[in-house]
Structure 1
């Protein structure tokens, strides 16, 4: 039997009319000779009482209690609601379907509540129903430990579920259904002239997700690359669009060194002055203290006399409190954005940084900091220059009017 994994995001299954389109797609796939194994996220719409965020809000008085087992059990409920609704809709349309929790689907994880890792998938139970022609609708995001405790796989965990199932069942590929036509060259709400990429490599899309692109989670991309699972990103509401293909075989088109522009909004830059006599021990102490307090760092620049990095604006107060307690001399710039140009075509190509910097300079944009790697050039700018920076880089490397 030729299996295909079809994963539907929270917006795709949010309302009855949307679920009708989801079910039509699943049925069409089956009628075309492929057998769909479906994975769903929790419903997501404004003020949805069953979204992951809404469920976690119910427990906001207990989030810091350390009882992560109960938090995982609670936050996993949204996917169960979604998969039951989709399964019932399929059955009503005359197609046998059953919903499955992670426990029933045999998705075994370790015991790291809140960010569990899948150890293995026992395929026997799902295969029993697949061989009977029953369409499985599996709850994404969740797993179960060897001792029967429910776990969650972290944000974007439903995408991980889909990739892991594809590998375990040797399915053809994973189709991710979102509310966009595929991977775009920039956020279309910021750059209307952005275009859909027909294909892209794991490396590039993985870098894009790390730099702020929110279509897929970086952990699912890395798993797909490691397990060689081909991916396709499609639009639930535009079924005729072929979407974006993601796999290792997708070669780079060198017509431009840059494939796409990504961005991360609402960050702050922190600049710590280091005494001349500072050794590695003090720097390690700073990193350990921030990590212990849950402050994640990015855009790190370490110089002989200073340390510079960025943090999420939501964590700025916590970060500065930690640094004050350590008697660090520091300053910070709030309300910044990290804007990145990503493309495997820039590898070994001279002059790309100069073109990028010149494009920003022409628009009068002040660059607070910059960095580059083999396939990424990133700039830190003030938030009020975010849109203009994205537009300028997109126009320089990809095209389109601002």
Structure 2
């Protein structure tokens, strides 16, 4: 057994599937060739987005005033129903729109030029234990800093207690330029806890066991924003980038995991919980994607992968994942470069996948445009890497 790995416990990812269904009903840089791992120049930037996101906690009662519409009430009722059935999850409910204007819900918003995006977010944890979460915000797949309490922080922490609702008001600090934009806030559970090597899951502390089960789950706020002077009347009015793949040619990715090595046929997969490396080297890991539902779409799955060292974005990879590989959960080589400026000692590697960048995931109650594409982001790994001295 690899000493830097844990047995990967099977997790069904039903949270992603059920929540995606509920949401749809209601509401530097390189490109990697998956066969060879060869890298080609690409356009994504690793520099931070030139915006800040204001995030202010407010009383839940104050926020609930904006969630009295039928759609929001149906979402809240659905959460109550699945919670009573024993379902455990962290639910994210949102309303958004132009600052000072009417608010809506769903997965997209259209703004006029000069309007500033704003809204409200409810976080509802139905997990068994309290947990800390890291907020990883990106705008156009570049990190954006959050001002949660008047101070600027790249990845603030948040503690959620079971059954306790938290409410936040958010807004960008300035209007977005015309065009498509994607704002995503990914919540990563227990970001500062690194799981120890233990081949027997029964020996884990129950709270740690719960955290490990949700480490790669999608808990997020995701929003496609189109800033334009004319409101789209049909799906064909949207930019080609937002509808580049036919809805029936998309798939629901439910899993994205970073593996240390490609498992031998019939051998168990290994949970990557720590590693060692040297500054300046390139490590070949393996990215494994899994999909929900039956059937395999013809189109490949575009996935943008963001790689952070010590919470600084250092690498962006654009993958074209064959749907058959996702159906078979076949590992894909993913080369990660270790920055040359990392000092000896422990550093943190974070890897997050973003399927279908800038894609329109829903349109007009799903009657006109109802893709299978679900989550905006999929956490792949967060682990300590010890940087050793040169040989």
TM-score grouping bracket, smaller chain normalisation: under 0.3
Structure possessing the higher relative contact order (Cα contacts under 8 Å, 6 or more residues apart): 2
Give the number of the structure whose residues are more often helix, by fraction: 1
> Larger radius of gyration, structure 1 or 2?
1
Give the number of the structure whose residues are more often strand, by fraction: 2
TM-score, L = length of structure 2: 0.28
TM-score, L = length of structure 1: 0.27
